[in-house]
Amino acid sequence: MTRAASGVGGQVFLTPEAVSWFARVRTGGWSLRSHDRTRVERGNGLSLEMLDFAGLLLILAALDLGVGLATRGRRAAPPPADDAQPGGNDPAADAIVSTFVFYSYYGYGFRPGFRPRDLLPPARVAIMTAPDGATDWLDTPADPLGFWSRYPLPLNPPDDDTLVVGLLGGSVAQWLGLQCGSRIEQALSARFAGRPVRLVDFGVGGFKQPQQVAVLAHMLALGQSFDAVVNLDGYNEAVYGDMNLTQGTRAETPCPIVVKPLRAAVSASGSSARGVILSGRVLDMEARVTELGHRIDRSRSMTMSLLRMVRESHLRARLARARRALRELPGDPDSDLICLPPSTGTDSDASVIDLWVAGSIQLHRLCRANGIGYLHVLQPTPFVGGRAWSDDERRTISRDTGHGDVIARIYEGFRTASAGLLEEGVRFLDATTCLDAVAETVFADTYGHLNQRGNDVLADAICCNLLSEPPLLARRPR
């Protein structure tokens, strides 16, 4: 091994062959064949050896480009930043444009105009629409009340003929309404001699009881008419109710994932400054990871793509650390401006289950008082029921990150407590087993979100129940 000083003051280790190779390149003393020391000069002064070196570089570059193009993603380029957010053409380019807006009535809602396309990267859309779902719902803008509704709200069809079905719940309800709205409308309409049916979607990611009660009360107050209401819930009540109690807030507080950054930012405690910094860091890194992902997929050069993958991996690790730090930020009940502490001596599982039951009973009573049919559906989850996961699901679903233990424990409580719902006269559908007979992939992730196939099966189960005896959906006087 020969030690040779580099031209920039550092030292590099090269083999004797490498040193002589560099020396020859620098002096033009290297010919096409390494053992032939004859210097070949061309008319323009360039040596054949230099051309040879350039040729090697060209070949390597061509290889890099070839492999890069062969493995390049075919997905469409993301929309430009200006188009990605509503109000993106606003001259105040630095204004913060969030996905959610905090509402006084039920915690939060989507920013009006915000579309699913603004939120979901193409890879996520591919999973959600599998195996062959439509994508037209991606352009549904949030209405002024913050819902991804396919109809302007409040919807009051001028004719007595149209039936209106409201769908309440969290993200599973949100996607079911968007991805299967037409399917549900057609199935119900066929049973009512072609009478038009409108499914109005009030599902919002993270919503949980008593937000559904607040939404129904609010919409009724605004004059929305319903013939039937379906409440599809379970996961958020269990996981986020439990998480709220663990973090020292009441179970009914809206989803902690949404509330925590705001709580950290405006709380008067000593941790608030750190909360603001961490929230900003998380937002910044999320944006950079997304942008980097697009660059990796679109890069023509394999080397550049590889370097970006290394950088992305590093950035993801930092993002995970920042998220964990934000989650674990200590709360201070005495100075918290957003959340109330739980009552002392609260049994966490019991309070979560009681809230789920009480919320459903109040929806039932509100509907009955207004002449509306009410169906409560306990949504499926990968961790309850006897279904064997597909290969894709085994790769995607994790009992740890999906809160499988919490789900299994509290769902058991839900199922036991559903006897109380039936006693109260609530129409209850336990949909935790409705996917058991489906062998192909139905879950889009570890959180129980469904792909198109799963949504279709769930939609059919709900329609079947709505139309079974005694029918919940019938001609009602306006």
Partner 1 sequence: MNMFLGSVVVGFGAILVVGAVLRLRRRARRGGSEDAKDIYPLW
**Residue holding tokens 């919503």?**
207
Tell me the three state secondary structure of residue 376. Answer: strand
The encoded tokens of residue 447 equal 């959180």
Report, in Å, the least distance between residue 92 CB and partner 1.
27
Burial (CB count <10 Å: 0-12, 13-18, 19+), residue 51: middle
Distance from C-alpha of 254 to C-alpha of 237, rounded to nearest angstrom: 10
Site for partner 1 in 263-322 (CB under 8 A): 286, 296-297, 302-303, 305-306, 309, 316, 320
Quick check: 206 binds partner 1 (CB under 8 A)? yes
Site for partner 1 in 170-189 (CB under 8 A): 171
Contact with partner 1 (CB under 8 A) among 183, 325, 390, 392: 392
Binding mask 444-463 for partner 1 (x = CB under 8 A): xxxx-x--------------
Quick check: 60 binds partner 1 (CB under 8 A)? yes
Report, in Å, the least distance between residue 396 CB and partner 1.
5
Contact with partner 1 (CB under 8 A) among 17, 291, 405, 440: 17
Shorter beta-carbon distance to partner 1: residue 60 or 419: 60
Contact of 472 with 427, CB cutoff 8 Å: yes
Quick check: 18 binds partner 1 (CB under 8 A)? yes
Nearest Cα residue to 450 out of 133, 215, 208: 133
Report, in Å, the least distance between residue 20 CB and partner 1.
7
**Residue holding tokens 């040729």?**
55
Peptide bond into 380 cis (omega under 30): no
Contact with partner 1 (CB under 8 A) among 97, 138, 257, 325: 257
Distance from C-alpha of 400 to C-alpha of 190, rounded to nearest angstrom: 43
Distance from C-alpha of 215 to C-alpha of 208, rounded to nearest angstrom: 11
Contact with partner 1 (CB under 8 A) among 15, 246, 416, 468: 15
Quick check: 6 binds partner 1 (CB under 8 A)? no
Greatest alpha-carbon span in the chain: 102
Query: Residues near 10 by Cβ (< 8 Å), separated by ≥ 6?
Result: none
Distance from C-alpha of 59 to C-alpha of 284, rounded to nearest angstrom: 39
Selected range binding partner 1 among 356-364, 383-391, 440-448, 466-474, rule: CB under 8 A:
440-448
The encoded tokens of residue 14 equal 């090269």
Site for partner 1 in 68-127 (CB under 8 A): 70-71, 73, 119-121, 123-124, 126-127
Shorter beta-carbon distance to partner 1: residue 373 or 402: 402
The encoded tokens of residue 252 equal 């009914």
Shorter beta-carbon distance to partner 1: residue 171 or 269: 171
Give the strands of the sheet with 373-378, arranged side by side: 197-201, 163-169, 228-233, 373-378, 427-430
Distance from C-alpha of 100 to C-alpha of 112, rounded to nearest angstrom: 9
Count the site residues for partner 1 by CB under 8 A: 49
Left if phi > 0, otherwise alpha if psi is -120 to 50, otherwise beta: which for 371? left
Binding mask 333-372 for partner 1 (x = CB under 8 A): ----------------------------------------
Shorter beta-carbon distance to partner 1: residue 444 or 462: 444
Shorter beta-carbon distance to partner 1: residue 128 or 214: 128
**Residue holding tokens 């049973």?**
191
The encoded tokens of residue 362 equal 């109040």
Distance from C-alpha of 377 to C-alpha of 232, rounded to nearest angstrom: 5
Binding mask 398-417 for partner 1 (x = CB under 8 A): x--xx---------------
Applying CB under 8 A, the residues found at the interface with partner 1 are 15, 17-18, 20-21, 30, 34, 56, 60, 63-64, 67, 70-71, 73, 119-121, 123-124, 126-127, 171, 205-206, 255, 257-258, 286, 296-297, 302-303, 305-306, 309, 316, 320, 392, 395-396, 398, 401-402, 444-447, 449
